[in-house]
């Protein structure tokens, strides 16, 4: 190239190089919430150190190879004095052996620490189960979170104590997802029918960003979550809170109206009362049943597994880590979930959204109810404050507040359990020698004594403990009135 052209090109070239370098450097800012260069725990720190080691090895290779290329291009370039075709050479055994062995050695140097760290982190994940084990199940496009042995279920938020490695068990109910908390641990895939694991540890309390890192469908980029690291005492307090039910709304209040709307339109997909241990333990099979209903008829279904909403009002975000949790965002979500998170399955499948959505008054009531979903102060009863004296009215109240309406309609529609319309007539024939009211009583306190044909045994078995004898009698009285 003549010298004159080269001069004109140089400023442009410099500008391009400058731009590329600045872009590359900007990606390395350790303060960004999703940067792997600012680890917040020892495991992420070790992974970063390994990356840095590989980076410098790669840099050395780059410098040597580039230097050789530059020297050779300059030294053997075509000159004015060059005539004809240069001398041709074929093969050089010593060089070929050298450049086969050198890369093999370099790869071996990189492979030893990499492979040994993969295996050692897997061993550490297994042994971390003794501290705390969290089972995370991937769904399109949100995260189910269970605390093994703690009987606590949540969604889109993983709480951990600081200073101890935590085992995260990774499963999927649909397609492949990938669990990634850049500041705490490298990513591991969630694969249907398989169980994977990773170990993560935070050294300081804080909130850390998580993200699905495997393309999993339309709303993949909007499948995020948070990891909240607490001091160990605060973490225990959080777990205890998750196990205390919310205060039931005052009868006649806006929230009580909202609870009724929720029971009729939302609770077939969302559990909102798994504070008690048995319901928490039943949650996985309930979600599985919902997912099976979806898989059996993906277009026609009105049911699919969905985030557990127990103590929703204590969460940091909505829509799987997408927007902050507050009343305004919650209202926007319930009015039109698609405007907050395009592609979400709630809007696509829920009967109420297919039919045009809730009215503004209904939305206000549902929001008022959802804002009550937080742990009751320790020692306070969660039952409705002013029990109705009339057993049938009381039974109706409990049917909504104890979560029965999440699985049972009062007509003939099956949700997860059979529709209970006309149950008094059918009940008399269910078990010979048993009266309708005895059968209903048994169905509530001991649901596995008789499994209705065509249904799975997912009804929680603890109503005998969480409800008083008078509550159960009231429920039976109410069920007997259903036409
Ligand atoms: C067909 C099942 C279905 C029905 C019915 C349904 N939802 Fe949902 N809902 C979902 C799914 C699935 C998601 C997760 C969407 C996502 O993040 O991709 C969701 C998400 C939510 C969230 C956000 C939770 C979080 O942690 O991010 C709230 C709040 C919510 N739904 C409330 C409601 C309310 C209130 C109703 C009734 C008016 C309702 N849902 C009805 C399936 C349903
Ligand atoms: C998680 C879902 C779920 C919840 C919550 C639930 N049930 Fe059930 N229920 C079922 C299923 C599934 C069946 C059918 C399988 C069986 O017999 O156990 C059933 C069966 C029944 C039956 C027998 C119906 C028949 O046709 O013989 C009655 C009565 C009943 N439930 C009442 C209740 C009451 C009252 C509550 C609340 C205190 C409640 N259920 C809560 C899922 C649920
Ligand atoms: Cu995903």
Going from the Cα of 311 to the center of ligand 2, the distance in angstroms, rounded, reads 24
The total number of residues shown for the chain amounts to 483
Residue 59 token pair: 């840099």
3-state secondary structure of 210: strand
Q: Which helix (H) or strand (E) holds 160?
A: strand 157-161
Residue burial 391-409, b: 16+ Cβ < 10 Å; e: rest: beebbbbbbbbbbbbbbbb
C-alpha to C-alpha distances, 444 to 34, 452, 454, 464, 469, nearest whole angstrom: 48, 13, 18, 7, 11
Going from the Cα of 407 to the center of ligand 2, the distance in angstroms, rounded, reads 7
**Ligand of minimum distance to the alpha carbon of 136:** 3
Q: N- to C-terminal Cα distance for the chain?
A: 93
Place of tokens 């009868």: 251
Q: What pLDDT is stored for residue 28 in this prediction?
A: 66
* Closest C-alpha to ligand 2, atom 7: 459
Q: What is the pTM of this model?
A: 0.80
Going from the Cα of 263 to the center of ligand 2, the distance in angstroms, rounded, reads 15
* Closest C-alpha to ligand 2, atom 34: 404
For domain 388-483, the CATH superfamily is: Cytochrome c-like domain (1.10.760.10)
Q: Ligand 1, closest atom to CA 268?
A: 5
If phi over 0 gives left and psi between -120 and 50 gives alpha, with beta otherwise, what is residue 79? beta
Tell whether ligand 2 has an atom less than 6 A from the beta carbon of residue 416.
yes
Going from the Cα of 443 to the center of ligand 2, the distance in angstroms, rounded, reads 7
Bond into 141 cis (ω within 30): yes
Residue 254 token pair: 């806006």
Residue 393 token pair: 């009215």
3-state secondary structure of 146: strand
Going from the Cα of 172 to the center of ligand 3, the distance in angstroms, rounded, reads 9
Residue 45 token pair: 């720190």
Q: Ligand 1, closest atom to CA 318?
A: 27
Tell whether ligand 1 has an atom less than 6 A from the beta carbon of residue 423.
no
Per-position pLDDT tens, the chain of length 483: 455 555 667 888 999 999 898 888 776 677 777 788 889 999 999 999 999 999 999 999 999 999 999 999 999 888 888 888 888 888 889 989 998 999 999 999 899 999 999 999 999 999 999 999 999 999 999 999 999 889 999 999 999 999 999 999 999 999 999 999 999 998 999 999 999 999 999 999 999 999 999 999 999 999 999 999 999 999 999 999 999 888 888 878 999 889 888 887 888 889 888 887 878 888 888 898 889 889 988 888 888 999 999 999 999 999 999 999 999 999 999 999 999 999 999 999 998 898 889 999 999 999 999 999 999 888 766 555 555 678 888 888 888 777 788 788 888 878 778 999 999 888 888 877 888 899 999 899 888 888 888 887 778 777 877 788 888 999 999 999 998
Segments of 322-398 assigned E as strands? 323-324
Q: CA 212, CA 223: separation in Å to the nearest integer? A: 6
* Closest C-alpha to ligand 2, atom 1: 459
Tell whether ligand 2 has an atom less than 6 A from the beta carbon of residue 402.
yes
Going from the Cα of 290 to the center of ligand 2, the distance in angstroms, rounded, reads 15
**Ligand of minimum distance to the alpha carbon of 333:** 1
CB 418 within 8 A of CB 458: no
Pairing of strands 133-139, 142-147: antiparallel
Going from the Cα of 326 to the center of ligand 1, the distance in angstroms, rounded, reads 15
Residue 96 token pair: 């070929």
* Closest C-alpha to ligand 2, atom 28: 443
Tell whether ligand 1 has an atom less than 6 A from the beta carbon of residue 155.
yes
Q: What pLDDT is stored for residue 383 in this prediction?
A: 56
**Ligand of minimum distance to the alpha carbon of 225:** 1
Q: Ligand 1, closest atom to CA 358?
A: 38
3-state secondary structure of 95: helix
**Ligand of minimum distance to the alpha carbon of 219:** 1
Q: Residue ranges of the domains in the chain? A: 388-483
Going from the Cα of 197 to the center of ligand 1, the distance in angstroms, rounded, reads 27
> Which residue in 51, 20, 53 sits closest to 36, CA to CA?
51
CB 407 within 8 A of CB 460: no
Q: CA 272, CA 302: separation in Å to the nearest integer? A: 18
Q: What pLDDT is stored for residue 109 in this prediction?
A: 87
The two counts, helices (H) then strands (E), for the chain are: 17, 12
Q: CA 447, CA 468: separation in Å to the nearest integer? A: 17
Residue 69 token pair: 């290329």
Q: 106-115 long-range CB contacts below 8 Å, 24 or more apart?
A: 106/57, 106/61, 109/57, 110/53, 110/54, 110/57, 113/50, 113/53, 114/50, 114/54
Q: Kindly report the number of other CB atoms within 10 A of residue 110's CB atom.
A: 15
Tell whether ligand 2 has an atom less than 6 A from the beta carbon of residue 39.
no
Q: What pLDDT is stored for residue 1 in this prediction?
A: 46
C-alpha to C-alpha distances, 12 to 15, 66, 384, 387, 463, nearest whole angstrom: 5, 22, 73, 79, 75
C-alpha to C-alpha distances, 1 to 13, 17, 79, 81, 107, nearest whole angstrom: 15, 20, 12, 16, 39
Q: Residue 362: CB partners within 8 Å, gap ≥ 6?
A: 258, 261
Place of tokens 């979170």: 145
Q: CA 439, CA 459: separation in Å to the nearest integer? A: 15
Q: CA 152, CA 134: separation in Å to the nearest integer? A: 10
Q: H helices within 27-92, ranges in order?
A: 42-75
CB 407 within 8 A of CB 363: no
């Amino acid at each position: 190239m003549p010298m004159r052209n080269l001069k004109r090109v140089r400023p442009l070239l410099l500008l391009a190089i400058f731009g590329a370098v600045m872009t590359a450097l900007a990606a390395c800012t350790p303060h960004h919430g999703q940067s792997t260069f600012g680890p917040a725990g020892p495991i992420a720190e070790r992974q970063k150190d390994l990356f840095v080691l590989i980076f410098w090895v790669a840099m050395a290779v780059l410098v040597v190879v580039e230097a050789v290329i530059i020297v050779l291009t300059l030294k053997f370039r075509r000159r004015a004095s060059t005539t004809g075709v240069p001398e041709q050479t074929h093969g050089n055994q010593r060089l070929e052996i050298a450049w086969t062995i050198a890369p093999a050695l370099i790869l071996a140097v990189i492979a030893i620490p990499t492979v040994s760290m993969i295996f050692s982190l897997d061993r550490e994940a297994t042994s971390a189960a003794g501290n705390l084990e969290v089972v995370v199940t991937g769904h399109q496009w949100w995260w189910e979170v269970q605390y093994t042995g703690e009987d606590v279920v949540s969604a889109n938020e993983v709480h951990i104590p600081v200073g101890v490695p935590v085992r995260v068990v990774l499963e999927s109910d649909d397609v492949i997802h990938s669990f990634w908390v850049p500041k705490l641990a490298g990513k591991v895939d969630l694969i249907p029918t398989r169980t994977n694991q990773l170990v993560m540890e935070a050294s300081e309390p804080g909130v850390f960003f998580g993200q699905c890192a495997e393309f999993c469908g339309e709303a993949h980029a909007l499948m995020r979550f948070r990891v909240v690291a607490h001091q160990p005492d605060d973490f225990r307090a959080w777990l205890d809170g998750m196990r205390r039910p919310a205060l039931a709304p005052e009868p006649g209040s806006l929230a009580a109206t909202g609870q009724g709307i929720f029971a009729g339109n939302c609770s077939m997909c969302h559990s909102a009362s798994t504070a008690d241990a048995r319901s928490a333990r039943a949650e996985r099979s309930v979600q599985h049943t919902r997912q099976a209903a979806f898989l059996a008829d993906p277009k026609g279904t009105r049911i699919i597994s969905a985030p557990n909403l127990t103590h929703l009002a204590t969460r940091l975000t909505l829509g799987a880590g997408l927007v902050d949790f507050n009343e305004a965002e919650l209202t926007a979500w319930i009015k039109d979930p698609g405007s907050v998170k395009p592609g979400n399955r709630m809007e696509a499948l829920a009967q109420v959204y297919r039919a045009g959505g809730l009215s503004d008054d209904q939305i206000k009531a549902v929001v008022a109810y959802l804002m009550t979903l937080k742990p009751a102060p320790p020692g306070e009863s969660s039952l409705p404050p002013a029990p109705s004296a009339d057993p049938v009215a009381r039974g109706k109240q409990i049917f909504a507040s104890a979560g029965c309406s999440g699985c049972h309609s009062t007509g003939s529609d099956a949700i997860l359990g059979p529709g209970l319309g006309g149950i008094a007539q059918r009940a008399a024939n269910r078990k010979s020698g048993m009266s309708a009211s005895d059968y209903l009583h048994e169905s509530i306190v001991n649901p596995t004594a008789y499994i209705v044909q065509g249904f799975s045994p997912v009804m929680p078995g603890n109503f005998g403990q969480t409800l008083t004898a008078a509550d159960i009698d009231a429920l039976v009285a109410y069920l007997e009135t259903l036409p």
